[in-house]
Amino acid sequence: MTVRVMIVDDQALVRAGFRMVLDSQPDLAVVGEAIDGADALRVLDRVEADVVVMDLRMPTMDGVEATRRICARSAGARPRVLVLTTFDTEADAFAALRAGASGFLLKNVPPEELLTAIRVVAEGDSVVAPSITRRLLDRFAGQLGPAPAEDPRLAQLTEREREVLLLVAQGLSNAEIAARVHVAEATVKTHVGRILAKLQLRDRVQAVVLAYESGLVTPGG
């Protein structure tokens, strides 16, 4: 199965470099390019993509707003968004995660990491290690404002699922959670899947964001 990828970046050389890397893979195909967020939305009206590789700092419409609009589309027309960021755009990366991005990478990652990330995102998973996500959220969670009331969706979770969600938000991997609660790793994976389904979330990254937004986890906690 070929993964259809769209590249969104205002720098032509960056787009050309990404295209060259992606075109070297038999299971990846670049189906479109865009120079900014607004252009990306127009292109997506004409072509179908599975993954959008999105820059954040662009003129006309930035990557955060474009991510928000893409993730608000109907399920059949909604590709997953992989945000590319630099060390000085962490605040924007946090905003993009809240807007629905499936994760983020630094722009200077080796080509093989970018390729792996695109494949993982296309399969419906997150490409951001929970511990990295937590550091990002700890730094920028002040943007969330006053502590909100607990999200009513959390009431659907069993006591064990709530425990697993808390550990996910604290940056533990499935293997680490399994050791902590004394169950098999496969059982933890099942719990995580049920949590995502009950909370109507796309992936682990969004679960971590929800845990912060609902006050289940607090910065530094």
- List the CATH number of the domain containing 33: 3.40.50.2300
User: What are the pLDDT digits (tens) for 2-22?
Assistant: 999 999 999 999 999 999 999
pLDDT for 36: 96
Pairing of strands 28-34, 3-8: parallel
Specify the CATH number for the domain of residue 208.
1.10.10.10
Query: 92 and 37, same structural domain?
Result: yes
Averaged pLDDT, 49-56: 95
Averaged pLDDT, 43-65: 93
pLDDT for 145: 56
For residue 33, the cross-strand partners are 7
Query: 119 and 47, same structural domain?
Result: yes
- The residue segments making up the domain with residue 182 are 141-214
User: What are the pLDDT digits (tens) for 117-163?
Assistant: 899 888 877 776 555 666 666 665 555 555 556 778 889 999 999 99
Q: What is the number of other CB atoms lying within 10 angstroms of the CB of residue 35?
A: 18
Q: Which of 97, 127, 157 is the last residue of a domain?
A: 127
Q: If 0-12 CB within 10 Å is exposed, 13-18 middle and 19+ buried, where does residue 97 land?
A: buried
pLDDT for 165: 93
Residues 6+ apart with CB under 8 A from 203: 102, 103, 124, 125, 126, 196
Report the sign of the C-alpha dihedral through residues 209, 212, 216, 219, in that order: positive
Query: 176 and 107, same structural domain?
Result: no
Q: Is the model's pLDDT at 81 over the cut of 80?
A: yes
User: What are the pLDDT digits (tens) for 83-110?
Assistant: 987 766 667 777 888 888 887 888 888 8
Backbone angles phi, psi at 214, to 5 degrees: -90, -5
Q: If 0-12 CB within 10 Å is exposed, 13-18 middle and 19+ buried, where does residue 155 land?
A: exposed
pTM of the model: 0.73
pLDDT for 147: 54
User: What are the pLDDT digits (tens) for 161-187?
Assistant: 999 999 888 777 788 899 999 999 999
Closest among 58, 111, 107 to 85, alpha carbons compared:
107
Is there a domain that residue 112 lies in? yes
For residue 52, the cross-strand partners are 6, 81
pLDDT for 132: 61
Is there a domain that residue 219 lies in? no
Query: 171 and 94, same structural domain?
Result: no
Query: 110 and 33, same structural domain?
Result: yes
Looking at the structure of the chain, the number of domains it has is: 2
DSSP conformation class of 218:
-
Averaged pLDDT, 192-218: 84
Query: 178 and 150, same structural domain?
Result: yes
pLDDT for 131: 54
Query: 145 and 121, same structural domain?
Result: no
Q: Which of 94, 127, 160 is the last residue of a domain?
A: 127
